[in-house]
Amino acid sequence: MGFRLLPDHLNREDQQALLDLVMALAQEAPFTRYVMPRTGRPFSIDMTNAGSQGWIADRSGYRYSPVQPVTGRPWPAIPATLLDLWHTHTGYPHEPECCLINHYRGEGARLSLHRDEDEETFDAPILNISLGDTAVFRLGGPKRTDPTRSFPVTSGSIMIFAGPSRLFYHGVDRLRVGSSQLLPDGGRLNLTLRRVTRPTR
Ligand SMILES: O=C(O)CCC(=O)C(=O)O
Ligand SMILES: [Fe+2]
């Protein structure tokens, strides 16, 4: 069990259906440009969430919140299509609690090298779904100083970060702007499904 990339896994119709779901979710929970803790510098991408827990950032840190910080309303539920993909590809016996949605609008949109480490448990894999422009994705190892490699991730591709790769450093260097026509205004959407709390049995 480790890292898996399933290139072009979802067909065009499934991609469009996911895009429609994201557009609907964004009506309820608007995309927001967070700022980074301490520096207060804005991210180059916009974010929203579905689920009982949404990943947020502000001057005081990175964390999960049950509500959208601007509207104060709970995040919309994670759509069944995404729950199905989670169960199919992760085999994890519990539901994901967060679907973080990143919107990379175009040139200059990136996500620097980081680990997903704000969750209470790292037992569950992370499921990553890409829609729209190809991303130049960077994957390293468990330590920030480990060597990294970069590779293209196209629209409809799925990545699974399971086992040790759950805590590998990763990021997005840039988009190949204009490589996909899926999003009406161009750019890329990325969905990551996450388990946040430790399941109680
Ligand atoms: O956009 C991507 O593919 C990566 C997203 C990511 O690493 C994150 O949201 O933590
Ligand atoms: Fe990440």
Mean pLDDT for the stretch of residues 138-160: 98
Torsion, Cα of 91, 103, 112, 148 (10° steps): 50
- Of 144, 138, 128, whose CA–CA distance to 175 is shortest? 138
CA distances from 26 to 48, 102, 200 (A): 7, 11, 31
Predicted pLDDT of residue 159: 98
Query: pLDDT digit string (tens) for 29-41?
Result: 999 999 999 999 9
Best of 22, 44, 98, 111 for a ligand 1 pocket test (most atoms within 8 Å of beta carbon)? 111
Contact assessment for residue 167 and residue 117, using Cβ atoms and an 8 Å cutoff: yes
pLDDT at residue 142 greater than cutoff 90? yes
Q: Which atom number of ligand 1 is nearest to the Cα of residue 170? A: 7
What one-character-per-residue DSSP string does 66-95 give?
Answer: SB-TTT-PBPPPPPHHHHHHHHHHH--SS-
Q: What is the pTM of this model?
A: 0.98
33 Cα to the center of ligand 1, angstroms: 15
Pocket (CB within 6 angstroms of ligand 1): 100, 102, 111, 116, 128, 135, 137, 170, 172, 190, 192
Distance CA 134, CA 16 (A): 16
What one-character-per-residue DSSP string does 31-58 give?
Answer: -B--B-TTT-PBPSSEEEEEESSEEEEE
DSSP SS3 for 28: helix
Q: Give me the domains of the chain, ranges plus CATH numbers.
A: 10-28+42-105+124-132 (2.60.120.590)
128 Cα to the center of ligand 2, angstroms: 9
Residue whose CA lies nearest to ligand 1 atom number 2: 190
Distance CA 43, CA 2 (A): 29
Query: pLDDT digit string (tens) for 158-181?
Result: 999 999 999 999 999 999 999 999
Query: pLDDT digit string (tens) for 118-134?
Result: 999 999 999 999 999 99
